[in-house]
Amino acid sequence: MDNTEVILHRRDIAGSLIGSVRETQEVLQFCAEHGIAPDIQVIRVDELNAAYHKVEKGDVRYRYVIDMASLQAGST
């Protein structure tokens, strides 16, 4: 199929670097069976700006996860 076929017949070409849903499920199942999990640091919502600045500086060791309960706690 050349470019003309794609354009004239409204064909789509797609790809993924992460795999299919089935492959993703297999990886998640493997991780669950072997106790593999990401290293994370849970932060409160009021720590978000500081965390973002650390990301910009490349000074982050873990993946940040925002504790959304802290959002509600801060509004009371």
| Torsion angle, alpha carbons of 10, 16, 19, 25, to 10 | -80
Enclosing domain of residue 22: 3-74
Place of tokens 């849970």: 42
Quick one: pLDDT band at residue 74, thresholds 50, 70, 90? Answer: low
- Please return the burial class of 45, using the count of CB atoms within 10 Å of its CB with bins 0-12, 13-18 and 19+: middle
For β-strands 40-44 and 63-67, DSSP reports them as parallel
Percent of the chain scoring above 90 in pLDDT: 59
Percent of the chain scoring above 70 in pLDDT: 92
Total number of domains constituting the chain: 1
